[in-house]
């Protein structure tokens, strides 16, 4: 089976005091920059408010894949699309009107993405598939980097791949992806990989992105 592979490094575990330099370290070899926005309400952690996130998004040399882990996300999601994010993920658990907000994100020029927490069933969201450009299946509880990959999410990844069928929808996994676990997620059907600590804790983050991509591309095209 042939599948395009995307590696989207998360800067959650990067050095926030020199973020531009950290982004530049992986820019040439990465597809998108995964930006984890947390509000300390939807998840028990805080990263950026809209103003701080905007300044990263507008100055990033990489297109930004915003992962909004915020409550009452419908309104702010559109603003993230409007300021130029390439992709905006809303969480199913935090969105009042999922199809409308996905449509609004697209209308504002970004890819629309629906995020699913580990305890949430994907099947109930099958009906919005045509409003979705990407599904993000969490493979850890959202909130923190550096957690262990939840292999028991792979049934959900396989189910999501079935829902997607022939549509050109990306299937992203987020949490605990490394050289050890990428194979499991790939075999279950993922094609887009968020990698946080495995990239930024590596001695050479860019080389790690390259290795992950080479491994996934070779195995995915076997
Ligand atoms: C967790 C975030 C992830 C996190 C991934 O809530 O959504 O994007 O940064 O980090 P690792 O790869 O270390 O699990
Ligand atoms: Zn994330």
Looking at residue 107, which CATH number applies to its domain? Answer: 3.20.20.70
pTM for the full model?
0.97
Asked whether residue 124 is assigned to any structural domain, the reply reads yes
How far is residue 22's CA from residue 163's CA, in Å, rounded to a whole number?
36
Domain membership of residue 1 (yes or no) is: no
Which of 40, 52, 66, 65 has the alpha carbon at shortest distance from 143?
A: 40
Q: Give the range of the structural domain holding residue 36, as residue numbers without chain letter.
A: 6-220
Tens digit of each residue's pLDDT (9 = 90 or more) over 124-170 = 999 999 999 999 999 999 999 999 999 999 999 999 999 999 999 99
Cβ proximity of 144 and 155 under 8 Å? no
- Looking at the predicted structure, is the pLDDT value of residue 1 above 60? no
Q: Is there an atom of ligand 1 within 6 Å of 194 CB?
A: yes
Q: How far apart are alpha carbons 89 and 116 in whole angstroms?
A: 10
Q: What are phi and psi of 32, to 5 degrees?
A: -145, 155
Average pLDDT over residues 49-76: 97
CA 196 / ligand 1 centre spacing (Å)? 5
pLDDT tens column, 72-87: 999 999 999 999 999 9
**Best residue for ligand 1 mutational test, from 138, 144, 182 (most atoms within 8 Å of Cβ):** 144
Number of domains in the chain: 1
């Amino acid at each position: 089976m042939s599948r395009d592979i995307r590696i989207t490094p998360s800067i959650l575990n990067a050095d926030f005091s020199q973020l531009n330099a950290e982004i530049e370290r992986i820019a040439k070899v990465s597809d998108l920059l995964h930006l984890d926005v947390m509000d300390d309400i939807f998840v028990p952690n805080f990263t950026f408010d809209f103003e701080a996130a905007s300044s990263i998004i507008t100055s990033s040399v990489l297109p930004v894949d915003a992962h909004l882990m915020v409550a009452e996300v419908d309104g702010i999601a559109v603003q993230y699309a409007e300021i130029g994010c390439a992709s905006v993920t809303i969480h199913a658990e935090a969105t009042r009107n999922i199809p409308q907000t996905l449509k609004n994100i697209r209308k504002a020029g970004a890819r629309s993405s629906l995020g699913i927490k580990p305890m949430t069933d994907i099947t109930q969201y099958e009906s919005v598939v045509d409003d979705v450009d990407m599904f993000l299946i969490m493979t850890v509880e959202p909130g923190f980097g550096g957690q262990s990959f939840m292999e028991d999410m792979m049934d959900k990844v396989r189910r999501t791949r079935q829902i997607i069928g022939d549509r050109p929808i990306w299937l992203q996994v987020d949490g605990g992806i490394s050289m050890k676990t990428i194979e499991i997620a790939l075999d279950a059907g993922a094609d887009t990989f968020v990698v946080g600590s495995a990239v930024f804790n590596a001695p050479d983050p860019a080389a790690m992105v390259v290795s992950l991509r080479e491994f996934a591309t070779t195995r995915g095209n076997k």
